[in-house]
Amino acid sequence: MRLNKFLAKSGIASRRKADELIQMATTEVNGNICMDPAYDVKETDVVKYDGQKITLVHEKVVIMLHKPTKVITTVKDTHGRRTVLDIVPSKYRLTPVGRLDQDTTGLLLLTNDGDLHQYLSHPSNSVPKDYEAIIEGRMAPAQIQKLARGIYIGDKEYGKAEIVSQDTNKGRTRVIIRLRQGKKREIRRIMYRLKLKLLTLKRIRFGGLVLGDLPENHYRTLTEREIKSLRK
């Protein structure tokens, strides 16, 4: 089995991300740093990642977390800030699927299934994600059309989204925004370019999964049926 696949099936990361990690000299085979993702791992090999021995994980789990604000979407933080893995203790080595920035709440998936992680993360699969944004005022039809075509959001990137619905009450609007790829802080950058004041942002749907009434700061394990729906 290739070393990158071994890391993926050990719950470290997706196979694509494992390539990067291996080339960053994070992985040892039999006591020696190995930077070749294609290295053929044998049954007798001892593989370590970040100094800890890793083995293949046969039980795959997917966790849905309702992430609160001021929590970092990462496995560990060098500044000692609270991370999502401080909320979701597990005997498995879980990795967040994508990111929600520190001030964004809502549905976040964590899994030890490297192949599923790669499928859900890869831009070419265009897995839809819905966000609930509370803004001041209301999006104009011209802004909605512009966003559907794609607008420049800086750093040589374009933001593109579908506005599913708008509901205005007392000068504030609840907007449901659907992304299919997702760049870093994309919705916040979109709102800045459109000169709209964003008050709160929450992810409420990932593929066919809905956050529902799961309370903030709580999590649950997905059922086999729910996991299969993600693969579709």
Catalytic residues: 101
Give the end-to-end CA distance of the chain in Å, rounded to a whole number: 26
Alpha-helix residue ranges (DSSP H) falling in 127-219: 141-149, 186-193
CA distances from 202 to 10, 45, 148 (A): 31, 44, 20
Give residue 97's Cα distance to chain centre.
3
CA dist 70 and 82 (Å) reads 8
- Listed in order, strand segments (DSSP E) in the chain are 27-29, 32-33, 47-49, 52-53, 62-67, 95-96, 105-111, 129-136, 151-154, 157-159, 162-169, 172-179, 198-206, 209-210, 219-221
